[in-house]
Chains A and B, each alone.
Chain A
Amino acid sequence: MRDVAVVATAQHQVAALTGTTEVQLMVPLLNAVRDAIGLTQADIGFTCSGSSDFLAGQAFSFVHTLDAVGSVPPISESHVEMDGAFALYEAWVKIQTGAADTALVYGYGKSSPGSLRDILALQLDPYHVAPLWPTADAVAALQARLLLESGVSGAGELAEIAVRSMRHAVGSPHAVRSSADVTVADVLAEAPVADPLRPSDIAAEADGGCAVVLAAGDLARGLCERPAWIRGIDHRIDAHGLGVRDLTRSPSAAAAAVRAGAGDDRLDFAELHGLYTSQEAILVRELDLDDDLLVNPSGGALAGNTTMAAGLMRIAEAAARISAGEGDRALAHATSGPCLQQNLVCVLEGE
């Protein structure tokens, strides 16, 4: 395997981008990561992005966003209808083939134009479940209730996760929900939205985008003072049917972590893409994270969830902290699908 590192990151995330198109969102981010390391688009070996037509409400929506990249001369480029973290995986693979030494990766999404909770229902089995049109929160609440009633987690644990996210998010430039003084009692006093999930259990919806540059070997060392090396990356998917899975578990997350080598050495922190406190509770167990590990120093996806980019943002957050010397080894996680169906784990290290 070639050594590949994250050498530049940029992100923007707000509660709602009301006056800005996806193209206008991405232009400054893409330029920021290229400028940070002194590369132009012509120097980039491969470009890959992640986004969703259903989020944009338009077929072929990613075609418009290509305008933000700059494609004269034409670029070697691909797109996944997945979170940008999976675009990063495709780009990492491309560098592993030897066909590219650098890659530009981006993911973006705007949930504010539509009703995300209803749109996500269309991810479910189209014949048996989607016609019932359960909201994403209702589906997640099934998982949370199983977690609570099986005794794996308690309501207090979930509230603590919510509190920790909001406290960490204070001072985090990309968080859209933060609080320095919220308490577990405050969270437990909230009326449930989808019982047992309370507002603070549910990731704060956001609009935004994220761009990352990957580079291989000595090239990475020359571009960046302290590259964040991808020491392992893997992703797995579980069965789709909610009824055929033990929803208190996420075997795909556990398998991805093992294959990414997460447990091979001590971690300094983890950035998790849990969309609900209940999902974060499951992830901490499945990823086999130590009780005292710093989880989501940025506040995590709970503090700001840009659908289609939140996973890539976790990798960018982890890489940026490592490059800044705020840790030597981190786990970044991305998820997709209902109830943690698909999971990606990326282990990043400084040198």
Chain B
Amino acid sequence: MSDPDVPPSALSGDVTLPAVLRDVEPVRSVRTPIRLEYSVTAGSAAEAYLRAYAEKRIVGHRSPVDGAVFIPPRGVDPRYGQETAEEVELAHTGHVGSFCVTHLPIPGRSDLVPPYVSAWIHLDGSAIGFLGLVAGCANEDVRIGMRVRAVWKPDGELGPTSESILHWEPTGEPDVPFERAGNRAWRAGGPDGRDGRQERGDA
């Protein structure tokens, strides 16, 4: 194994600077600030999803393949590459699929004082989880499977953003068992294409 501190022989030769550069202070680095502006498109699926927040509603998309509900909707069932278009209104309750107690600040979120809990929120009727903050209890009391409900901003402060939900707080209901918590709880629905979790009567 070659010595990392010895340059490869092809690169170890002395560099002879032209005379004009010999007594000039070498340039060790240059700073070249970059600024680019983008106007990002939400797309029809995300736009309806965001606008619903301003009306204190949470909407997802139902897959035409087996009825699985996706949130946030992206206009596609990523399993099969099939377009989704059917909007479904979702409950404001669900459970914690898993979570992280974060001890670091998030750039641009000075309102969040570490440590705080970010979690996969699995809404009742949704087949996948999405990201949210959990508060309203001690961080140590957050659990996988804990039932939660949305805590909304006051009506006058709602807007077309998922941040219209301040955070998710415990409902006090019994936990969802670990083996049924999160994405892995999904089982393909029946021929009527309904959410398998609803069929089993839990959550």
Contact = CB atoms under 8 A, between A and B. Distances in A.
Does A touch B (CB under 8 Å) in the complex?
A: yes
Given A20-B41, A20-B44, A118 B74 contact: no
B41 A18 contact: yes
B44 A66 contact: no
Interface in A88-143: 110, 112-115, 118-119, 122, 126-127, 130-131
Contact of A20 (B40, B43, B77): B43
A122 B32 CA distance: 11
Given A130-B32, A131-B32, A115 B37 contact: yes
Given A24-B75, A27-B76, A19 B44 contact: yes
Contacts of B37: 114-115
Given A57-B38, A113-B38, A27 B30 contact: no
Interface in B50-85: 74-83
Contacts of A21: 41-43, 45-46, 74-75
B43 A28 contact: no
Interface stretch (A67-75, A244-252, A281-289): A67-75
A18 to B, nearest CB: 6
Contacts, number: 84
Given A31-B81, A71-B79, A24 B44 contact: yes
Contacts of A115: 36-37
Interface residues of A, number: 34
B80 A70 contact: yes
Contacts of A122: 34
Interface in B19-50: 30, 32, 34, 36-47
Interface string B167-183: 00000000000000000
Given A68-B81, A70-B82, 19 more contacts: A18-B41, A21-B42, A21-B45, A27-B75, A27-B76, A57-B40, A67-B76, A67-B78, A69-B81, A70-B77, A70-B79, A70-B81, A72-B79, A112-B39, A113-B40, A115-B36, A118-B36, A122-B34, A131-B30
8 closest A-B pairs by CB: A70-B81, A57-B38, A21-B43, A67-B78, A72-B79, A131-B32, A113-B38, A70-B80
17 contacts: A17-B41, A19-B41, A19-B43, A21-B45, A21-B74, A23-B74, A24-B45, A24-B75, A24-B76, A30-B81, A64-B74, A68-B76, A72-B78, A113-B38, A113-B40, A113-B41, A131-B32
